């Protein structure tokens, strides 16, 4: 989600009025209204009820508020860590990471890196695997943090650990009470999925095809956060990473394994084949490995 839109949402929620929030943000009220409407369109829900004196959060807005606050706090911590490393030392490490891994792994890895190697400045690029693979081969990045299966060509791949895939269901779904879900329950069920441009979206689509599970896709999103919000709103089911489920632990969603199937993805570091591995890069990859493995 766009951090500018999240800041606009939080300021409006805290102020209780668009006029006061606009003044705090240094915006005109129409500009702030447009930002709020853009965020509402992105999520597919209304975040505020408008009344004569101001605005108040809807149920969806109240669900978003603590998550938005947490996301911005973590983003600020990450930015501060990178700036401090650049000011305190020498050398730059250029890291690429895919969107279904970056928010769940990189903030904690960067905090560890700061303690161990504050002399290194870390530059981050979040993007799809295909884009990052090209940048790596062109020498624009030093290392990627990604997931398999993805056919990284002309690269060396190092496993950092595995991440289970679980099925996200609304809390009211029978599978939430059973603690697991069957293939039969997935068949012909409304689904909320990631865009196939994500390697995870492609992996899930491939699994469903092999198992002859043909869910009715009602939404394809570029953001896992949107997918999970829509599952909680009972729009459909989705197969998601366990690391995302652990972060998005809300009463509206339940996360259950798929009966008789062990779904997982491998989290990997990807290097240019034959490229020299700097000590700082190795240190950062070690930090990521520890976070992935929960150490």
Pairing of strands 216-221, 54-57: unpaired
**Topology agreement, domain 69-161+266-292 and domain 163-264:** yes
pLDDT value at residue 81: 63
Residue 196, helix vs strand vs coil: coil
Cα dihedral 152, 153, 155, 156 sign: positive
Residues 6+ apart with CB under 8 A from 186: 167, 208, 213, 215, 237, 258
pLDDT value at residue 205: 76
CA 32 vs CA 22, 23, 52, 67: distances in Å: 6, 10, 17, 20
Residues 51-107: pLDDT tens digits? 877 899 999 999 999 999 888 888 887 776 666 554 544 578 899 998 889 999 999
Pairing of strands 92-97, 48-51: unpaired
Overall residue count recorded for the chain in this entry: 295
Separation CA 62–CA 79 (nearest Å): 26
Q: Which residues of the chain have pLDDT under 70?
A: 1, 80-90, 197
CATH for 3-66 is: 1.10.10.10
CATH for 163-264 is: 3.40.190.290
Q: Where are the domains of the chain?
A: 3-66, 69-161+266-292, 163-264
CA 125 vs CA 93, 96, 108: distances in Å: 11, 5, 16
pLDDT value at residue 84: 56
Query: Using N-to-C axis directions, what is the helix angle for 59-88 and 3-15, rounded to 10°?
Result: 120
Give 90: exposed, middle or buried? Use CB within 10 Å, 0-12, 13-18, 19+: exposed
> Under CATH, domain 69-161+266-292 is a member of which superfamily?
Periplasmic binding protein-like II (3.40.190.10)
């Amino acid at each position: 989600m766009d951090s500018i839109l999240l800041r606009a949402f939080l300021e409006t929620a805290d102020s209780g009025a668009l006029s006061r929030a606009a003044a705090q943000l240094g915006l005109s009220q129409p500009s702030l209204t447009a930002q709020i409407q853009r965020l509402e369109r992105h999520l597919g829900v209304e975040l505020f009820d408008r009344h004569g004196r101001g605005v108040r959060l809807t149920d969806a807005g109240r669900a978003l508020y603590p998550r938005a606050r947490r996301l911005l706090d973590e983003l600020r911590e990450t930015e501060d860590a990178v700036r401090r490393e650049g000011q305190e030392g020498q050398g730059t490490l250029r890291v690429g990471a895919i969107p279904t891994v970056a928010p769940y792994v990189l903030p904690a890895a960067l905090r560890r890196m700061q303690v161990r190697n504050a002399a290194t400045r870390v530059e981050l690029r979040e993007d799809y695997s295909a884009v990052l693979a090209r940048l790596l081969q062109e020498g624009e990045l030093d290392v990627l943090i990604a997931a398999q299966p993805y056919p990284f060509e002309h690269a060396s791949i190092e496993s950092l650990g595995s991440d289970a895939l679980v099925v996200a269901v609304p809390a009211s779904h029978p599978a939430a009470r059973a603690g697991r879900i069957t293939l039969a329950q997935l068949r012909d069920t409304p689904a909320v999925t990631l865009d196939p441009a994500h390697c995870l979206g492609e992996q899930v689509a491939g699994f469903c095809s092999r198992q002859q599970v043909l869910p009715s896709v009602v939404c394809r999103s570029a953001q896992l956060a949107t997918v999970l919000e829509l599952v909680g709103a009972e729009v459909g089911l989705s197969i998601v990473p366990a690391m995302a489920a652990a972060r998005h632990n809300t009463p509206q969603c339940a996360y259950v394994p798929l009966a008789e199937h062990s779904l997982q993805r491998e989290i990997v570091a990807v290097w240019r084949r034959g490229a020299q591995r700097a000590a700082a890069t190795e240190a950062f990859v070690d930090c990521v490995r520890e976070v992935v493995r929960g150490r």
